[in-house]
Amino acid sequence: MPYLMGLDISTTGAKALIIDETGAVIAVANTPQPISQPQPLWSEQNPSDWWEGISASIRRALAESGLSGEDISAIGLTGQMHGLVLLDGDGEVLRPSILWNDQRTGAQCDAMTARIGGRRLIELTGNPAVTGFTAPKILWVRDNEPAVYAQAKQVLLPKDYIRYKLTDAYATDLAGAAGTSLLNVAERAWSAEVLDALEIPAEWLPPVHEGTQVTSTISAAGAAATGLKAGTPVVGGGGDQAAGAVGMGCVAPDKIGVTVGTSGVVFAPLSNYAYESEGRLHAFCHALPDTWHFMGVMLSAAGSLQWYKDSFAPDIDFDSLLAEADRVPAGCEGLFFLPYLTGERTPHPDPLARGAFVGMTTRHGRGHMTRAVLEGVAFGLKDSFTLIDQAGLPEDYEVRISGGGAKSPVWQGIIADVLAAPLININTTEGGAFGAAILASVAAHLYDDVASACEAMIETGEQVAVGANAAVYAERYEIYRALYPALKGIFAEL
């Protein structure tokens, strides 16, 4: 039987996953990754830690499965998006990687917008200048570390540094490249206009590939370090959200993904390139050919519930806490929660936005507050659906849900009612690594295309129907939408 491997370089771990051709998970190994914050707003990691971690995870996954490198037919890569890895002419790392959640580049984002024009930047790249993206990080190094910049010869994303170490080849995938602010997303090619405006050498950027294309093969050195077989094909793969969507089977416009992790993500595939005129939705290439996607991101989804429990109910388990919330009527008798604990991205790109309970009275107890958190996150997800709907949702679509926060039946029921759409659970929780392995299955010629692979490997589970509270939430949502504009000025003063 052929086996496939998915590798995921996330912010917290370096994961290796092995599946068979049916999608059954054979082995998973994950090596935790350290992170550094040397100054306020900074977030960095050492690429050498990724390489050591993924090498260890690959060897452990092979050992636990009882397989050898000879048994792996193809390998897919995924990982954190937007991070900057700078190499010199000898392929050596010049400085720690600046990560997706680093916020030091505000001035460089302003400079990008001034040089290219805000509207033109959105037209070309699908997004405004965002502090977490790669291009402003390059400009920051040029402005602040000129000696480092003078030695630079190659720009890579985090997972593509692992590709380089495995194969000795420079390459990236289109989904990841779309998150750099350097890609013409409609044309699926590096943007000469953006590169010229920012004076970034085009030769620094690796060739771009579709997620199912073979970019390179395992080198002798890569094989020696990992136990993989030299010559094993490595495919383009995808950025974490695109690969995660593949792992949910969200590869066509009729299947929308909702992920309730620390952050909350709404992922809507597109058959043609489109962008939201104000840049409130991300528009990227998907990890399969001729497909794009809209993505809405709220920064604190399950993170809001975790904060709430840690702060106010540390001695109560989640099940008991949510059981209390389930006894409270929909709408919490007038109590609202704004989930902007770490600022917000969609639909309010505002780092100064703050969390808030609004409407509290002496009638409200812990159960009300817990349910208000659950409802507030659900309303935040609906904000993304509202923007995507305005941009053009298909008439018929299904919503697939995943993530740790999605395991609660109470919360799933609230989300289904708020979205006024049934939710469909899926059989895997391995996220991006599973999606990367699915992409590899197409390159290994096990399936003709990604849709066929998803249909064979992904099983749908329980469906959560829309309940009687949908009408209540439709009314409450209009009040929720009015709260941020009313408080925006206060947040800024605070």
Strand-by-strand arrangement of the 282-285 sheet: 282-285, 292-298, 264-270, 255-260, 398-402, 423-426, 460-464
For residues 239 and 177, give the distance between their C-alpha atoms in angstroms, rounded to a whole number.
8
As a whole number of angstroms, the distance between CA 135 and CA 110 comes to 12
Catalytic, out of 49, 160, 173, 240: 240
Whether 240 sits among the annotated catalytic residues: the reply is yes
Quote the tokens at residue 35. Answer: 């992170």
* Residues labelled as active-site residues: 240
